[in-house]
Amino acid sequence: MNTKNTLRVTVLASALLAGSTWATDGYFPHGFGMKSKGMGGASVAVTDNAFAGINNPAASVWAGNRAEIGVDIFMPKRSAARSAPAGMGGMLEGDIKSDGSAFAVPEFAYNAIINDRMSWGVTVYGNGGMNTEYPGGNVTCPSPSGTYEGNLLCGQGKLGVDLMQLIVAPTLAYKIDERHSVGVSPLLVLQQFKATGLDAFAGFSMAPSKLSNTGTDRSTGLGVRLGYLGQLSDSLTFGASYSPKIRMDKFDKYAGLFAGAGSFDIPENYALGVNVKVSSTVSVAADYSRINYSGVPSIGNPMSNLSPTSPMGSQNGPGFGWSDVNVFKLGVQWQATPTMVLRAGYNQSTNPVKAENITFNILAPGVITKHFTLGGTYALSKTSELTWAYMYAPKNTVTGPSMYNGMPNLPPSGITETVRMSQQSLGVQYGWKF
């Protein structure tokens, strides 16, 4: 593949990714590249694919000359509910499902060997996203003059958010010696966001005209991912990767929603992994990764920060109250036949959503904690292959006290809210060596 064709495919993948949305480990995907996704996301010490720009830049120099392009069909089910004491006569109550049940998530990666010590490549991927779209006009909401029919957060029209983060990661890797390598990937980031149906919170915002229904806004940023890979023995490989927090331009159209006048940075994250060759046909990979959501005020600030001196959009204003997430990934790969590889995996993460922040997380119910995966690769020829991956994440639920408790003319307690999510995905990828 020449440079011109590489650029064309990269641009195409970027355009396609702009319409995709998902959420698994918080709002990060459970894995990157279809081979990784089939192994529960385990990837930091694996070198059989071109997705080094996200999984581990140091792996690039071991991956050979190859390219991969694919698409994952992501199928989330999201819903939210509110219950209230019997004396309220059904006011504020509702149990609503989010619209949108299938999203196409493309992916692309390219890797080339420069010489016996160096390689370069490029990975185009979606770092993550979150999407909800609840119908409006189905909840009886209180007002000074009586009641009205609003959405689940008592705004007008549809309620929801749509966040997408796209990253293009050029990669350069260097082999220190025959067993160790390092790598670096500059991260060129584009993110976009929109929110609808939040007008009921105008009185809590420092900029009510920049809170909701202002259309799609975009911001850019520049980050980096560093990586190390070491073949510690003939059967054991160790890898590590690290990306510091990426400071993004602000979402100016949503300066009254996100803490810091529209600030929405990408959290610091890092990963450690091993790959063990159990036999000539079986290997096992295990990763630990951490995503420090709490270091981004608009994500990590608790809902309790909301006050007359810390309104929505202020530097210390409320966020989603997400905790940092620890993720454990385990995958096994079996060379079943000369042309067929089979994979299975499991991904377990801590839940970033806490009960005390439940109301704001109706918009972002990133409560999934378990993923079960299957996958495989079939060699079409010596230079081409077809890979598939399936993921199932069972429903998880979080319930907590509503922020409506204690508001004027409402009881001090007893109003509760629940968010739920389950997921499936099925993807296919075509790869070729050159």
For the stretch 65-96, pLDDT in tens is 999 999 999 999 999 999 999 989 899 999 99
Q: How many CB atoms lie within 10 A of CB 315?
A: 12
**Torsion-angle region of 336 (φ positive above 0: left; ψ -120 to 50: alpha; else: beta):** alpha
pLDDT category at 1 given cuts 50, 70, 90 is: very low
Residue 394: the pLDDT is: 97
The model's pLDDT over 155-185, given as tens digits with 9 standing for 90+, comes to 999 999 999 999 999 999 999 999 999 999 9
* Per-residue pLDDT at 10 exceeds 80: no
The model's pLDDT over 216-226, given as tens digits with 9 standing for 90+, comes to 999 999 999 99
Residue 23: the pLDDT is: 62
Better-scored residue on pLDDT, 7 or 284: 284
Better-scored residue on pLDDT, 208 or 12: 208
| Six token digits for residue 12 | 């195409």
DSSP letter for 335, please: E
What is the spatial distance between Cα 4 and Cα 410, in angstroms, rounded to a whole number? Answer: 63
Residue 129: the pLDDT is: 78
The stretch 193-219 carries a mean pLDDT of: 97
The model's pLDDT over 357-376, given as tens digits with 9 standing for 90+, comes to 999 999 999 999 999 999 99
Beta-sheet pairing, 159-175 with 118-134: antiparallel
Residue 371: the pLDDT is: 98
What element of type H or E holds 7?
A: helix 3-17
The stretch 282-287 carries a mean pLDDT of: 98
The model's pLDDT over 291-316, given as tens digits with 9 standing for 90+, comes to 999 999 999 999 999 999 999 999 99
* Per-residue pLDDT at 4 exceeds 90: no
Q: What CATH code is carried by the domain that includes residue 391?
A: 2.40.160.60
The stretch 107-133 carries a mean pLDDT of: 93
> Judging by beta carbons within 10 Å of its beta carbon (0-12, 13-18, 19+), is residue 189 exposed, middle or buried?
buried
Average pLDDT over the chain, rounded to whole?
94
What element of type H or E holds 344?
A: strand 340-349
The stretch 395-399 carries a mean pLDDT of: 97
- Is residue 404 within 8 A of residue 83, CB to CB? The reply is no
The stretch 260-278 carries a mean pLDDT of: 98
What is the percentage of the chain residues whose pLDDT exceeds 70? Answer: 95
pLDDT category at 3 given cuts 50, 70, 90 is: very low
**Residue range of the domain that includes 406:** 3-433
* Per-residue pLDDT at 22 exceeds 60: no
Could you give the number of structural domains in the chain? Answer: 1
The stretch 135-141 carries a mean pLDDT of: 95
What is the spatial distance between Cα 302 and Cα 345, in angstroms, rounded to a whole number? Answer: 33
What is the spatial distance between Cα 326 and Cα 310, in angstroms, rounded to a whole number? Answer: 30
The stretch 326-352 carries a mean pLDDT of: 98
